Amino acid sequence: MALDKEETGERVLAIAEVLLNEGGMDNLKARTIAEQAGISVGSVYNLFSDLDGVHRAVNMRLLDRLGVAGAAAMADLGRRGVTDVRDRLLALADAYVRFVEAHPGSWPALLAFNRRRPVLTEPDVYEARLDQLFEIIAGVLADGGFDLDEDTRRIAARTLWSSVHGIVTSGYAARSVRRQADEIDRQIALLVGVFIRGLERGGTFAHAGGTTS
Amino acid sequence: MALDKEETGERVLAIAEVLLNEGGMDNLKARTIAEQAGISVGSVYNLFSDLDGVHRAVNMRLLDRLGVAGAAAMADLGRRGVTDVRDRLLALADAYVRFVEAHPGSWPALLAFNRRRPVLTEPDVYEARLDQLFEIIAGVLADGGFDLDEDTRRIAARTLWSSVHGIVTSGYAARSVRRQADEIDRQIALLVGVFIRGLERGGTFAHAGGTTS
DNA sequence: TTGACTTCGTGAACATCGTTCACAAGAAAA
DNA sequence: TTTTCTTGTGAACGATGTTCACGAAGTCAA
């Protein structure tokens, strides 16, 4: 045996990520992985329980990389003395956009992976890695001087994240590739701008049932 | 032959939608459709080019139904004399939430379907049906008395839609089923509230490059 | 009516996929 | 050396998407 077991696993994950990035979920085939990794099909199932297990492991790496990208963007702004809330939120959103662009196949594959089953899987680990991002956003909001209690700030952070996520994914699902990046940037700019102005005006955001007569 | 060709196609689509709704994309099998529809496997391929073609047709029906739900929600509010922008936007968002809840499997399958290939498909028809929804939102914004030019209003409508979409999909991707509906409602209420307050303050939302020193 | 032509349903057949498993090779222990 | 355990192997199985040669049934002209 030439390689360590863990080392072989890493190589399989690297190959799997390339396959996912190039051809989406349908391109993740056990025989292709085995061939490119120089092992047999059975060995793939020795290293991972399923192909789903391989995909899950790739997704973990992606989420980790996304967290690093977000933290790096904040660290970079801090190093340059930028403290403006708008700039920091835009930088976070931009980091996410660049991350999605850097993973044109594997990131959509992660999203599709979660939607494949109704709710059978246990995305606890997923949520844990996403919480890391939420806390970054909540931290930015906390420094913004808004008069928000902790609970509202938590909701606002998740709302902001979900909104940016929706803008980016909806944007890239549209037809043209060019000109679409511009649309995404404009939507994000409008969202962040409107969000900050709305928060600055204070007030409560209770789930008021105003729609009923 | 007992049934018309088009009628058989409708039955196939109805069966396919049930299958998708119950088990997601993996549950859409040619042999299952043929068996439940009382036809042969080959006939399915006579009626539709691919299984993807079947899925596409189901998705069209879903998008039509979503458009009807949105329009109905607006018509209902108009009938009850409700003209407040916040109420109307919340009603639209609520219509979307209820739509997603009414299609727990087939709607995620639609989203996963679009993410399956990088950008090979031509979602022109998709976009056309979504534009219908954007125009509804833009119409509500136009009645809101905000000082927005048509272009900004278009962007704002799409931003609002994408944000709500992101909130809903991110929300249902999380772990618990209960208590999650509450989280979604709170995020939507915060988003709409913040959005309206932000728009009321006017100003431009140009893509100002403020992040660079 | 009859014959040719067209249309369309049929299901066996093929290729490919995920997954399993009996087997063997090799390392470690005795 | 012998035994035992681990681990890689690839043939084999079942399921799936898709095709296609065949035949039944309808249509129409003579």
The answer to whether residue A2 scores a pLDDT higher than 60 is no
Count other Cβ atoms within 10 Å, centred on residue A61: 15
Q: Is the pLDDT of residue A3 over 80?
A: no
Q: Which positions of chain C lie under 7 Å from any protein Cβ?
A: 8-13, 16-22, 27
Residue B46 CB in 7 A reach of strand C: yes
Instruction: Specify the pLDDT at position A212.
Output: 39
A2 CB closer than 7 A to any strand D atom? no
H helices of chain A, where?
5-23, 30-37, 41-47, 51-79, 85-102, 106-116, 124-142, 150-172, 180-200
**Minimal CA separation from A194 to chain B, in Å:** 4
Contacts of A26 (CB under 8 A, 6+ apart): B116, B117
> Are A148 and A141 in contact, with CB atoms under 8 Å apart?
yes
State which nucleotides on strand D lie below 7 Å from a protein beta carbon. 7-12, 15-21, 26
Tell me whether A162 touches chain B (CB under 8 Å): yes
Element (H, E) at A204: none
pLDDT band at A126 (very low <50, low <70, confident <90, very high): confident
d(CA A62, CA B128): 33
User: A196 and B198: CB-CB below 8 Å?
Assistant: yes
B12-43 in b/e form (b: 16+ CB < 10 A) is bbebbbebbbebbbebbeeeebbeebebeeeb
Extract the tokens encoding A160.
Answer: 């902001």
Q: With a 7 Å cutoff on the CB, does A51 touch strand C?
A: yes
The answer, for B169 touching chain A at a CB cutoff of 8 Å, is yes
Q: Which residue of B has its CA nearest to A212?
A: B87
Cα–Cα distance for residue pair B189/B171, rounded to 1 Å = 14
Instruction: Say if A129 is an interface residue toward chain B (CB within 8 Å).
Output: no
Cβ-contact A125, A43 below 8 angstroms = no
Kindly determine whether residue A198 and residue B203, on different chains, have CB atoms separated by under 8 Å.
Answer: no
Report the C-alpha gap between A192 and A198 in whole angstroms: 10
Instruction: Answer for the pair A11, A37: CB distance below 8 angstroms, yes or no.
Output: yes
In angstroms, rounded to a whole number, what is the distance separating the alpha carbons of residues A16 and A22? 10
Residue contact A186–B80, C-beta within 8 A: no
CA distance B18 to A203: 45
CB pairs under 8 A between A and B: 193
B119 in contact with A at a CB cutoff of 8 Å? Answer: yes
**How many C-beta neighbours within 10 Å does residue A72 have?**
11
**A140 pLDDT higher than 80:** yes
pLDDT at B116: 79
Mean per-residue pLDDT, A117-136: 76
Task: Give the pLDDT of chain B (213 residues) as one tens digit per residue.
Answer: 445 778 899 999 999 999 999 999 999 999 999 999 999 999 999 999 999 999 999 999 999 999 999 999 999 999 999 999 999 999 999 999 999 999 999 999 999 998 876 555 566 678 888 899 999 999 999 998 898 999 999 999 999 999 999 999 988 776 666 568 899 999 999 999 999 999 987 666 554 443 333
Q: For residue A146, say whether its CB is under 7 Å from any atom of strand C.
A: no
Task: Provide the 8-state DSSP code for B105.
Answer: T
CA torsion angle for A43, A48, A52, A58 (degrees, to 10)? Answer: -110
The candidate with the shortest Cα–Cα distance to A96, out of B212, B137, B166, is B166
Res A27 pLDDT > 90? yes
CA of B63 to C1' of D27 (A): 40
For residue B123, the model assigns a pLDDT of 62
Q: Chain A residues with CB inside 8 Å of B177's CB?
A: 119
The reported pTM is 0.90
Q: Is B210 on the interface with A (CB under 8 A)?
A: yes
End-to-end CA distance of chain B: give it in Å, rounded: 74
Tokens linked to B124: 């022109």
Q: Are B175 and A127 in contact (CB under 8 A)?
A: yes
A101 CB near a chain B CB, below 8 Å? no
Distance in angstroms (rounded) separating the CA atoms of residues B94 and B72? 12
Confidence of residue A85 (pLDDT cuts 50, 70, 90): very high
> Which residue has better confidence, A204 or A118?
A204
B205: which 2 tokens? 């939302």
For residue A124, the tally of other CB atoms under 10 A from its CB is 9
Please tell me the least confidently modeled range out of A60-64, A147-151, B201-205.
Answer: B201-205
